[in-house]
């Protein structure tokens, strides 16, 4: 998987909106497929027009590291999931709660070009991840 630092650098070289969307779809192709057992109603993200699943795997402790996995049935959304996972997965719960991924998507030049439905779905994914992380803070 491409790291968030690499994604940020790559987006810096892309001036054209179509190039950015192609790169988002490439990132989605790199995303490992979510096992069928994790494609449950509980893991499905509400508020997304496409089907999106996110699963959380917290480690032990008062501020656990949380590993995330996700998937979508739509190519562009799958790429957005890949960016969200690069931003949040493997971080401590407190870092996840504090991190503003919407600002990240703005810096990458993506948020202003997403349709209202995709932007709402993105916000739903981020909110879900941050809420999950907050539940694991002791």
CA–CA dist 29, 21 (Å, integer): 13
The single-letter DSSP state of residue 50 is S
Burial status of residue 47 (CB atoms within 10 A of its CB: 0-12, 13-18, 19 or more): middle
d(CA 44, CA 125): 10
Instruction: Look at the block and give the residue holding tokens 């949040």.
Output: 88
Residues 6 or more apart in contact with residue 122 via CB below 8 angstroms = 80, 84, 102, 105, 111, 114
Verify whether residue 48 is a known catalytic residue.
yes
Catalytic residue among 24, 48, 85, 96: 48
Q: Per the structure block, which two tokens stand in for 57?
A: 């795997």
Which residues participate in catalysis according to the annotation? Answer: 48
């Amino acid at each position: 998987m491409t790291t968030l630092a690499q994604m940020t650098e790559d987006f810096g070289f892309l001036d054209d909106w179509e190039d950015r969307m192609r790169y988002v779809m490439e990132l989605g192709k790199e995303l490992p497929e979510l096992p069928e057992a994790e494609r449950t109603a509980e893991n499905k993200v509400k508020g997304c027009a496409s089907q999106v699943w996110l699963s959380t795997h917290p480690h032990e402790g008062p501020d656990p590291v949380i590993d995330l996995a996700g998937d979508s049935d739509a190519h562009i959304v799958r790429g957005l999931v890949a960016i969200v996972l690069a931003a949040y997965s493997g971080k401590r719960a407190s870092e996840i709660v504090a991190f503003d991924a919407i600002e990240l998507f703005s810096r990458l030049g993506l948020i202003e070009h997403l349709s209202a439905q995709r932007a709402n779905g993105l916000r739903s994914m981020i909110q879900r991840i941050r809420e999950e992380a907050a539940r694991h803070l002791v």
